Structure 1
Amino acid sequence: MTAIGFVTRTSHGGFRGQLRFLPICADIDIVPNRDKSGDNPADFRIFTQGVEVGFGRILSGGSRGTDYVSLSLAAPGLGGRKLCANLGRTVGLYGEGSFFLIWNPVD
């Protein structure tokens, strides 16, 4: 598993931290999508410097059945490709509300 960032849970139900992926180092905010509508809405919206760069969905893990957050980011700095990651707990590190952004390569 490759960690490409680190976030902590905010008091508003979102996350705040940094994406660190090769030449990219950006502060990010993952905020709950309070305006959800439609059949398949995102649970979170991802922003950097006030610009929306992606979304997140709460999914259920198959083998353990526990929920996790799956992220999808797209920005010009990524060369037109989509970057996918999951939030993974930092077990034993940094406290209960801390998560790594775990890179999830997409073909």
Structure 2
Amino acid sequence: MTAIGFVTRTTHGGFRGQLKFLPICADIDIVPNRDKSGDTSPDFRIFTQGVEVGSGQILTGESRGSDYVNLSLAAPGFGVRKLCANLGRTVGLYGDGSFFLIWNPVD
């Protein structure tokens, strides 16, 4: 598992932290999508410097049946591919509301 960032839960139900990998270091805000209109709409929207760069979906894991957040980011700095990651708890580190962004490479 490769961690490409770190976020903490906000009081508004979202997350705030940094995306960090090789040439990119950006502050990000993952905010609940208050305008969600159906099952296909994202649960979260991802912003950096006021610009939307991605979205997040709450999914249920097949093996444990627990919920997790799957992120998809796209920006010119990433080239033509999307960057995918999952929020993973930092068990024993930084407190209960802290999460790593775990890189999820897509073929």
> TM-score higher than 0.5 here?
yes
Shift of 1:39: 4.2
The CA distance in 2 between the partners of 1:17 and 1:39, in whole Å, is 27
User: Deviation of residue 19 (structure 1)?
Assistant: 0.1
Unmatched tracts of structure 2, length 5 or more: none
- Correspondence 1:31-50 to 2 at 5 A: 31-50=31-50
Q: Under a length normalisation based on structure 1, what TM-score does the superposition of the two structures give?
A: 0.98
C-alpha deviation, 1:37, in angstroms: 1.2
SS in 1 for 2:106: coil
Does 2:66 align with 1:83? no
Deviation of 1:81 after TM superposition, in Å, equals: 1.1
The 3 A distance-change label for structure 1 pair 20 and 61 is same
Cross-structure match for 1:98:
98
Distance 1:72 1:23 in 2: 18
Match of 2:67 in 1: 67
Question: Superposition RMSD on alpha carbons, in Å?
Answer: 0.6
SS at match of 1:96: coil
1:27 maps onto 2:27 in alignment: yes
What is the rounded CA distance, in whole Å, between the counterparts of 2:28 and 2:52 in structure 1?
10
What is the TM-score normalised by the length of structure 2?
0.98
Give, in whole Å, the separation in 2 of the partners of 1:35 and 1:73.
19
| Sequence identity percentage | 87
Runs of 4 or more off by more than 3 Å in structure 1?
Answer: none
Return the offset for 1:38.
3.7
Amino acid of the structure 2 residue aligned with 1:96: D
Structure 2: which amino acid aligns with 1:78?
Answer: F
Letter in 2 for 1:93: L
Tell me the residue number matched to 1:4: 4
Q: For residue 22 of structure 1, report the CA deviation from its aligned partner.
A: 1.0
